Amino acid sequence: MSFNNLDQLYRQVIMDHYKNPRNKGTLEDGSFTVDMNNPTCGDRIHLNLKVEDGKVTDAKFDGEGCSISMASASMMTQIIIGKDIETAMRLSEVFSNMMQGKEYDEDIDLGDIEALQGVAKFPARIKCATLAWKAMEKGVKEGN
């Protein structure tokens, strides 16, 4: 597959998550809630995670933002549900490295999240892509 075709496929995946977000909404009985925003561009997220016995059993998000920000939140919730906290935090580290153009463990299956790797070429958009992930990290670290 040529680079242009792959780039087009990635754009389609991002737009699909933006237009048809997975896990959008709120949890009534979430273990913690985190609100964050990106003042640079106005993206904001409200993230609910339900954690039981050290495992993410459910995740929902709501908010407003660009296609990259909202698609990333959708992708993140999909991949962390069912994972233990340690794995979710490891995925966040891998994603952060990918966004910064650093080497990352490519053996880890990121699924649709790989569609966001092109964002690394646009430094102003990296904060958009990482907003939901930073919210998840904050919630886990603060134990909200």
State residue 4's pLDDT score.
67
Q: What is the pLDDT along the chain (144 residues), one digit of tens a residue?
A: 555 666 887 889 999 999 999 999 999 888 899 999 999 889 999 999 999 999 999 999 999 999 999 999 999 999 999 999 999 999 999 999 999 999 888 888 899 999 999 999 999 999 999 999 999 999 999 875
Q: How do strand 55-64 and strand 32-38 relate by DSSP bridges? A: unpaired
Angle at 125 between CA 94 and CA 23, to 5 degrees: 65
For CA atoms 76, 82, 86, 90, the dihedral sign is negative
pLDDT of 105 reads 85
- 123 and 113 in contact (C-beta within 8 Å)? no
CA dihedral 118, 93, 91, 62 (to 10 degrees): -70
Domains of the chain: 3-142 (3.90.1010.10)
pTM, 2 dp: 0.93
The Cα 133–Cα 75 span in angstroms is: 10
